[in-house]
Structure 1
Amino acid sequence: MLKKIFVIFLLAINVVFAITIKHADHKDFYRVVLQTEKPVKFSLEQFSKNIISVKIKEKSNKVNKRIIKNRYIKSLDVLYSRNSTEFIFETTRKIKDYKVHTLKNPYRIVIDFYKKTLKPVKTYSYKDDPIYQIIVQYEKKQKTYIPSSRKKIIVIDPGHGGRDPGAMANGLIEKHVNLKIAKRLKKILEQDPRFKVYLTRYTDRYVGLYERTVIAVRKKADLFISIHCNSSPTHSESGTYVYTLNLRGAKSKLARLVEQRENKAVIRYVKVSANPLVNRIVADLAISTTMTEGRNFAYYLRKHLRKVTVFRDIDSANFAVLKTPGIPSVLIETLYLTDKHDARLLKEEKFIDQFAHSVYNAIVDYFYRE
């Protein structure tokens, strides 16, 4: 008997669209059923050896959820956007194999997580021919010498939003300034055909820190830039700072203060094993690119931003929003809202444009330097 554990979503038009989640533990597999009131389009994606997402292309404004916790499902996160609702399952053990199918009356998406790897049916394929394999390996080798024409994917993260306004001072609200700078940078980047750009939010809405990093991973970003504005209780600080990830925490007192202000939630490490030591080693390896390349990109930001602003320093801190495994990531504290001169600049269209162009020049320099 499937156990009912989940309930209801509200659409913007005040019509209830219910999604019920059921689950059951069988001998050879663990079953999760997402039951909807009507057929829906959906997609599956496996992020790691024990994280899988089911994305339903159906609008929702709010999800009232309860988290599944049992011997097999460690956690369930629900991410919702303008046109979809996504369920991210984290299993307690490595996903050996899974199958998905649908049922009608009522419409159900059925996912079976198998406890053992399914034995594939052996069929002959020309791809098994050793001569074919030699040709494939040769072609791969040749392609390594050909520059990739793929567009660089940039994810820009306007900090705060919705119920989280960020800092407020001198007639400015941080969430609005962050979004304005992000949109300007996006517009400039999109004029260059070498880049594809996404924002983590396009309007004044709240986006969780975990969701922001998932967006970057899902989009297969080549670079992640989080835009913020700074604040000081003494009103004595000014200028621009860039922060990169440091898992040991902030090095300086100022970095610790900023870290405490930005980290209102904690993102989980990518887990691949029941052994916590293995998880820590894998997490450190997976995130080394984020730290090392993030720092390299920060140097290019300093080179170009100091032409248009008072660039103070590059520092590192344990920001949740920068924990994007394998993606170079930085957090830019544009200027201080609490400083009158900085606030005056943030109100000027000319400065916003100059600042965004400088970040664009740093991106070009980072990817296409000779």
Structure 2
Amino acid sequence: MNNKNRFIIFSTVIIVLIIVSFSSLIVTANTKVSETIVRENESNNIENPSKKFNDIIENRKVRILIDPGHNAATKGALGYLGYEYYMNLRVARELAKILSEDNRFEYFLSREGAYYSRPIKEYMTNNYEELLGIYNTKVKGEERTGNLTRYQTLELYAIRHYAIDNNFDLLLSIHFDYMPYISRRNKTSGFHVIVSPYNKEFPASMQVAYKLSERMQEKYKISPIIGHDRVLPNNVWKFYDKEELINNAISLRGLIVIGDAFENAYNKEEIKKDVPSVLIESGFIHEWKFESNRAVKELANQMYLALVDVYTTK
């Protein structure tokens, strides 16, 4: 083999080695970048939810709109404890009292008596056309259920949009559940929390729901009928792990006061702010244990502890 051929072979080997080395550097660099992105995502996923709200605590009070579900017109369920709207108000008042003693929070009650407060009524009057537009929106495959009148429906939309437009940090709607079968009432107790996937603050709403469920489970059972709750369409549910949510006492539903399909369709062409929202079925209206003031205070206190968990740091 002459020197010329040796030189060609040697040169070829050198070029191949250079290409291989360069490729290895690129792969290594890409791997490191990918690992960094994964770590950042993992960090974001496990971050303490309360950190998100640090700026709220440092700069101003956390604003909670407490909605005692129903009123003297709609009443809600009826059971051993009386009408639901009355029990909802008892719990809401106790929660408001606890919050009033913590200078990190401020609250507003959507009603302090039998009917909705003056600010809610004024908001409904001043924004009637928009609220009516939401009410009149049609959604394929969806129908308004229940026996609410148009006026009563608009009242609920007014509560929700009052919370949005007045920059509340959370809308908490308090309710009691109902078991229609008398023979099952003695064996039926517990709570569950409802979040709407139509709410644009869904992640923040879920953070509150998980903490609320966690604190409630310290004292109360999870409702045995949560799995039979009116479910969302399959094209919505398919994005969530229903079993995991139910095991954590969380149900997904579109409801007027926390966000529904009709409002979502009405606003689909518009990017609009929202308010984190949860609805809690605190127990069952037939559960006699909630008759005493002490039991109502304990129930409200568990809700308060959940709010502290979410909106403050230890």
Please give the range of the TM-score, normalised by the shorter of the 2 chains: 0.5 to 0.7
Partner SS, residue 246 of structure 1 = coil
Name which one, 1 or 2, has greater alpha-carbon Rg: 2
Provide, for residues 167-223 of structure 1, a one-character-per-residue CA deviation record: whole Å limited to 9, x for no partner: 011251101000110011001011000111001111101561111112212331001
**Amino acid of the structure 2 residue aligned with 1:205:** Y
Matching of residues 149-160 of structure 1 within 5 Å: 149-160=59-70
2:258 to 322, 325, 330: 322
* Whole-angstrom distance in 1 between the partners of 2:276 and 2:173: 11
* Whole-angstrom distance in 2 between the partners of 1:218 and 1:146: 17
Partner SS, residue 288 of structure 1 = coil
Matching of residues 28-177 of structure 1 within 5 Å: 148-177=58-87
1:331 aligns with 2:242: no
Matching of residues 1-370 of structure 1 within 5 Å: 148-205=58-115, 208-235=155-182, 236=184, 237-247=188-198, 287-289=199-201, 291-312=202-223, 313-323=249-259, 325-338=273-286, 342=287, 344-369=288-313
The 1:212/1:145 distance shift into structure 2, 3 A limit, reads: closer
The 1:322/1:151 distance shift into structure 2, 3 A limit, reads: same
Provide, for residues 87-131 of structure 1, a one-character-per-residue CA deviation record: whole Å limited to 9, x for no partner: xxxxxxxxxxxxxxxxxxxxxxxxxxxxxxxxxxxxxxxxxxxxx
Partner SS, residue 172 of structure 2 = strand
* Structure with greater contact order relative to length (CA < 8 Å, sep ≥ 6): 2
The 1:319/1:149 distance shift into structure 2, 3 A limit, reads: same
* Whole-angstrom distance in 2 between the partners of 1:310 and 1:174: 20
* Whole-angstrom distance in 1 between the partners of 2:55 and 2:174: 36
Give the count of matched residue pairs.
183
Provide, for residues 149-173 of structure 1, a one-character-per-residue CA deviation record: whole Å limited to 9, x for no partner: 2111000000000211100112511
Percent identical pairs in the alignment equals 29
The CA RMSD measured in Å over matched residues stands at 2.2
The 1:211/1:350 distance shift into structure 2, 3 A limit, reads: same
The 1:194/1:337 distance shift into structure 2, 3 A limit, reads: same
The 1:331/1:147 distance shift into structure 2, 3 A limit, reads: closer
Provide, for residues 292-325 of structure 1, a one-character-per-residue CA deviation record: whole Å limited to 9, x for no partner: 1111111111111112221341111001100295
Partners of 1:158 and 1:178 within 8 A in 2:
yes
5+ long unaligned stretches in structure 1: 1-143, 248-286
5+ long unaligned stretches in structure 2: 1-53, 117-151, 224-248, 261-272
Provide, for residues 25-81 of structure 1, a one-character-per-residue CA deviation record: whole Å limited to 9, x for no partner: xxxxxxxxxxxxxxxxxxxxxxxxxxxxxxxxxxxxxxxxxxxxxxxxxxxxxxxxx
- Report the Cα offset of residue 363 of structure 1: 0.2
- Report the Cα offset of residue 146 of structure 1: 11
The structure where helix makes up a greater share of residues is 2
The 1:217/1:337 distance shift into structure 2, 3 A limit, reads: same
Partner SS, residue 59 of structure 2 = coil
Partners of 2:57 and 2:104 within 8 A in 1:
no
Q: Which residue of 2 aligns with 1:95?
A: none
TM-score w.r.t. length of structure 1: 0.47
Partners of 2:57 and 2:311 within 8 A in 1:
no
The 1:337/1:145 distance shift into structure 2, 3 A limit, reads: closer
The ranges of structure 1 where at least 4 consecutive aligned residues each deviate by more than 4 angstroms after the TM superposition are 144-147
* Whole-angstrom distance in 2 between the partners of 1:319 and 1:146: 27
* Whole-angstrom distance in 2 between the partners of 1:245 and 1:152: 22
